[in-house]
Amino acid sequence: MLSRQRPMQEQETPLSGLVLIVDDSADNLTVLSHALMSDGMEVAVARDGEEAIELVSRAQPDLILLDALMPGLSGFETCRRLKADPATQGIPVIFMTALAEARFRLQGFRVGAVDYVTKPFEKTELLARVHTQISLRRATRALEERNTRLSEEIRERAKAEEALAQAVQMLRDTNERLSQQLMQSERAETARAALQEQIIAAQRERLLELSAPLIPMIDGVLVMPLIGTVDVERAGQAVETALRGASERRADYLIIDITGVKAVDETVARMLVQAAMGLSLLGTQTVVTGIRAEVAQTFVALDLHLDQLVTKATLQSGVEHALRTRERRQRKPER
């Protein structure tokens, strides 16, 4: 049975959205629904993978909380099918599991999940992970809309350029002997070539790669959100994922958001510096967001060199920094 529930309060919260919870346990559905609705979220529920796929085909949620092990269609297979469908592959999926082994978490990432939470649930951490993924999802949609508008502008400019080329050709055919009109045709050819280069560059910049746990914001800009406790094993895995993902995608920027990290100790601090140094060798600029006063004190106490990374207080400011820098680089050839 599928149902869609709204929060008790009608007033809109700063961060709202539709979250689909998929779990065969009625108790888990009740606990999760209450936690999300009390935080201002709109909730839909499904008791198995087949019902979840049917619901998503009719109304796409902003986020899916998916139980890994369910009777019938498992959470892993459900996620794989959603990611194989172009209409639903962009929906972020967070796995819910009581399996603590790393191989189960890796299996979730391989089929397309962006994160995972372990049972029993810790409400604060759960909401932090949900907020992060919904914010990233909305930022990605905004960038996609921006790219759509850019595509429309490019098509209009192409039409104008085609009309200009036709006019220049007519002038060239009828007034070939006049030097002034010849110069005009040469300038038009130069303008056409420059416009073609701009179109090609813009098309390349609009390409997005969706691969978890790295979140692509726009071509060349990746986001890696870190939430909860980061131990030595997880820190090593994060560095490996960052280097591999940046290399495969040839990223210009990798934004590591530590807003949701419970405590930034020596392990986390050294992991960030190590990742930044490795990414620098790949030509990728590291931006660390979520910097707080205690985080800065940790870096100072360890006397770590921060030459290879940029620090920002919030994820939004880090994304804006990466986009502004890329835009300045894109405008340089036009000067």
130 closest CA partner among 15, 273, 289: 15
Residue 42 · residue 50 · CB < 8 Å = no
Tokens read off for 316: 């939004």
CA distances from 328 to 38, 59, 302, 307, 331 (A): 43, 39, 34, 21, 5
pLDDT at res. 2 = 45
26 closest CA partner among 41, 47, 6: 47
CA distances from 225 to 59, 81, 127, 176 (A): 27, 24, 14, 62
What is the layout of strands, in order, in the sheet containing 18-22? 3-5, 42-46, 18-22, 63-67, 93-97, 115-118
Tokens read off for 10: 């009608």
Distance CA(260)–CA(258), nearest Å, equals: 5
pLDDT at res. 182 = 67
288 closest CA partner among 261, 326, 266: 261
Q: Could you list the pLDDT tens digit for every one of the 335 residues in the chain?
A: 444 555 544 444 446 789 999 999 999 999 999 999 999 999 999 999 999 999 998 889 999 999 988 888 999 999 999 999 999 999 999 998 877 667 878 888 899 999 888 888 888 999 999 999 999 988 888 888 888 888 888 887 878 777 777 777 877 776 677 778 768 878 878 887 777 777 665 554 343 333 337 888 888 899 989 888 888 888 888 889 989 988 998 889 999 898 888 888 888 888 888 888 888 888 889 999 988 888 778 878 887 777 778 888 898 998 888 888 888 877 765 55
